[in-house]
Chain A
Amino acid sequence: METKGRFDPNSPAIKAYENELAHQFVREGTMVAFPTCLPGMTTPITHDECRITALDIDSEGHIYGGTSGRRAHLFASAFHDLTGVVLDVGVVPDGTNSVAVCCGKSRTLAFVNGARGGRAIAIPEIDLAQDWIQEWGLAPQVLQDLGECVSKEPVVHAICDASRSTVIGVTTGHLFTMGIESGKVSVIGEVSGRGHLGMGSSGIFGQDDGARLWHFDLASGKIRRAAVDLPKGEWNAGLRWARGGDTGELLTADDAGRIFSFDENQGFRLLGRAHLAPVGPMVMIPDGRLFGFCGNEMANLFCCDTVSGSVSNLGVAASVFEHRRYAYQFGDAVVGSQGEIVFGEDDNDGHLWLYFPKINRVTRATT
């Protein structure tokens, strides 16, 4: 006996479902999966050493990153002018997990965990502004191991201060600072080392015990524990932050995908809720839209309008340019120099995913 489908193919619900399926990948904008190499000319970072878990961007628009896996690599990349290259700068000896990359004024520091603890690694400034279409020349660069940040404690996260001369980092138990040029570490004090750090207008915020934030005042160098209560929500997992807008507001999400903005003076404001949880890497582009990925195992791209609070599901990442590929997990994200977003794919054979958001229609007032 033949099976008959129990549905009306002409019903509005089925037509809506068909329409959803037709747009399940990157519903808005365009994604390009860029391999970790000069395509066609060099080999990408080894498959199981290429989970991209840390990114930052320097003032020239060059993106530096770190990978995780069997071995951690650090790379530099650029996607403007005549570049279009990801340069594998090197392997971090005994490193397996890149947790942060911080682009300073003079050089970039990466923070990598592994068998020899949580270490700071300096990446020299790399001039990628060459003609990578026709003729190029670059000497291999050497990574510099600056040592363990805090003895026997893995690094959890680190960010630059506004001047990009100092890194503020957190291990599993301590807050530290590091001069980008000097490489000198100062352990500031004990904090709860969970989640990423967020930079506010007066200092750094990190996740404290309970549903609270600690605050590190950059001017005084003091840590204030339990400085801010997190709003009502679920706050067990490590926090992630995005920063943007004219005021440099911070954005974060709780374990259930509720998205909040945070202003040091006005506190938290619930913006909306992603359709999946947890919320992973997210960034705000200059027009005020927040983009990020949500959901385990098979993440979906979402967009949150930070003005209206509306959150839309933009589907699963797929690239039909450069490399034809799906992507399911992402580790970090930065906003590129032209407002595009670069996501780091946290998976075997991870790629840098350039996302060009849909351009919103501008309505001009009639005179």
Chain B
Amino acid sequence: MSPGQEIDRRTFMKIGSTAVAANLVPALEAEAKSPGETPYPVKWYPFTHHPDSDTCWSLSVGPDGRIYAAACAESVPGGVVKPVRYNEDRDDLDYLFDLAEMVDDPGTSGRASQCKIHYSFAPSMHDGVLYMATHLSGPPIDLPRYSPWYSWHDAKRCFRGSALLAFDTRNDRVLWWDTLIPKEGCRCLVHDEERGLLYAMSYPRDHFIIYDLHTRKRRDIGRISSINPQALFLDKRHRVWTSSDYGRLVRYTPETDRLEISPGLLAHDANYQTGWHSVFYDVAPSPDRECVYASTWCPNPHLMRIWPNEGEWPRVEDLGPATQARDTTFPIDMFTDHCGGLTFAGDGKLYYVASRWRDPKYNPTPGTGKELQGVVWRLDPRTLERQEVAQLKHPTGVANYVSRGAVDHNGDLFFGHVGNHPSGIFKVSMPAERKRKNAHLPIRMWG
């Protein structure tokens, strides 16, 4: 944006930074409403029974329509992840189990710990199983930090591997577990239920992994790049999609057993970015499964709409930046500038959470509000107009970094959050006229 196009704070707040940067101002001005005009009450559910928890990287709706989240503990030596479930009768969280104990790799092992589940819940509808795969980063119990590069060859310290666990949501039993990826973590997971295959991205080597649920055998298809994509998704032809370091689509086609890279780039700000680091952060399928909506794990993340079932390579529509304009001469903290939690709700609209922060030039809000905010947006896929419907509020901490979002069978929104201790999830109750039963269906098959 040239200096002549700069806007004042009043305009910015009224229409939203996203709209300004995306040049969507005229379209949005008509619909923009202040938060609270339509009630979207927000409630915070801390992981109080897992006080070590510091992040919630996974939140998904299970095959039973209930909300599952990962209470992760990655900054704590020997920290372990505990899956939780929202209990709508008690309006509270149920703590399901200590995953490290379940997979016989306790936090006291001396190895890097089974500390988190990272975008790696994947439902199985025919049998009510929720698959979950662990990720690494938590240090061994007697070390302050862990590096998978440094400890790769160290049998005593090296992460045992991503543990894949099958949890039966019908009777709350762990059916079985296996090592999905030796030595490496699972950054993201998708389930092709028709073919009985799980697909995963390994960390740190960024390899594409296929796990056959029938034979319980894995295959390593090879490396993609250096920066993990944070999401994998499926199309109607059972192809698996993700992204590479330099902002290109990556496609796995089962018939050719091959990873291919797109010629075009994902959306980014061409004024100062090259596409590098424009990897997927979050991807939500449209209810008709004809397209997906995605955000990038990159400063100034862009929203996109991608049509994977069309053409040789999909049409990628740049829906503009999800967060506010900023000083591009300084590399902003990636925990400040963020967009995640993409999910469709019962009203057929896309919801997501984008951060907003005080900035002396681009958002000079008075000092009374939070310096960092998590804004819940509602995007109409037909008109691409967006509306700010709520702000996430944590009683004492931050609420700007949402990892994942999902809608439960009652039609309410839930968002996993990163950055508080203990960590937790937000529930955003949908207005009655905008919710419907079984709004989570058809279910998202990836974390």
Contact = CB atoms under 8 A, between A and B. Distances in A.
A4 B144 CA distance: 10
B52 A6 contact: no
Interface in B158-182: none
A9 B73 CA distance: 19
Given A298-B153, A326-B204, A2 B223 contact: no
B147 A21 contact: yes
Interface in B237-267: 245, 258-261, 263
Contacts of B276: 324
Contact of B258 (A1, A21, A48): A48
B261 A7 contact: no
Contact of A3 (B141, B224, B245, B260): B141
Contact of B149 (A6, A316, A348): A316
B76 A2 contact: yes
B52 A3 contact: yes
B79 interface: yes
Contact of A48 (B77, B79, B139, B222): B222
Interface of B is mostly: loop
Contacts of A3: 52, 73, 76-80, 107, 141
B143 interface: yes
Interface string A18-53: 101100110000000000000000010011100000
A17 B143 CA distance: 8
Contacts of B204: 326
A173 interface: no
A70 B77 contact: no
Interface string B370-394: 0000000000000000000000000
Nearest to B260: A47
Contacts of B223: 328, 347-349
A324 B143 contact: no
Given A2-B76, A5-B76, A6-B77, A24 B51 contact: no
B141 A14 contact: no
A72 B149 CA distance: 30
Interface residues of B, number: 35
A298 B245 contact: no
B436 interface: no
Interface string A251-272: 0000000000000000000000
B205 interface: yes
B77 A21 contact: no
A141 B369 CA distance: 65
Nearest to B110: A6
Given A18-B144, A48-B258, A298-B149, A325 B225 contact: yes
A298 B144 contact: no
A276 interface: yes
Contact of B150 (A24, A48, A70, A276): A24
A295 interface: yes
Interface centre among A6, A20, A300 (most CB of B within 10 A): A6
A298 B205 contact: yes
A135 interface: no
A4 to B, nearest CB: 8
A5 B139 contact: yes
A326 to B, nearest CB: 5
Interface of A is mostly: loop
A14 B144 contact: yes
Contact of A21 (B80, B150, B152, B224): B150
Given A3-B73, A5-B139, A324-B226, A276 B153 contact: yes
B361 interface: no
A297 interface: yes
Contact of B245 (A17, A25, A325, A347): A325
Contacts of B261: 46-47
A294 to B, nearest CB: 10
A352 B299 CA distance: 29
Contacts of B317: none
Interface string B125-150: 00000000000000101111101011
B152 A297 contact: yes
Interface in B197-219: 204-205
Interface centre among B145, B149, B263, B276 (most CB of A within 10 A): B149
Contact of A325 (B73, B145, B183, B226): B226
Interface centre among A7, A20, A47, A326 (most CB of B within 10 A): A47
A48 B144 contact: no
A25 B153 CA distance: 15
A7 B77 contact: yes
B142 A348 contact: no
A25 B263 CA distance: 31
Interface in A110-142: none
Nearest to A24: B150
A7 B245 CA distance: 37
A5 B153 contact: no
Contacts of A17: 143-144
Contacts of A348: 222-224, 259
A349 B150 contact: no
A13 to B, nearest CB: 10
A225 to B, nearest CB: 37
B313 to A, nearest CB: 14
A276 B145 CA distance: 22
Contacts of A24: 147, 149-150
Given A47-B259, A324-B226, A326-B204, A7 B149 contact: no
Nearest to B145: A21
Contacts of A349: 223-225
B52 A2 contact: yes
Nearest to A9: B144
B205 A328 contact: yes
Contacts of B142: 5-7
23 contacts: A3-B77, A3-B79, A3-B80, A5-B139, A5-B143, A6-B142, A7-B143, A14-B143, A18-B144, A20-B150, A21-B145, A21-B147, A24-B147, A43-B263, A46-B261, A295-B153, A298-B153, A324-B276, A328-B205, A347-B223, A348-B224, A349-B223, A349-B224
In the A-B complex, list the 6 residue pairs whose CB atoms are closest, starting with the nearest: A5-B77, A298-B152, A348-B223, A24-B150, A6-B142, A7-B142
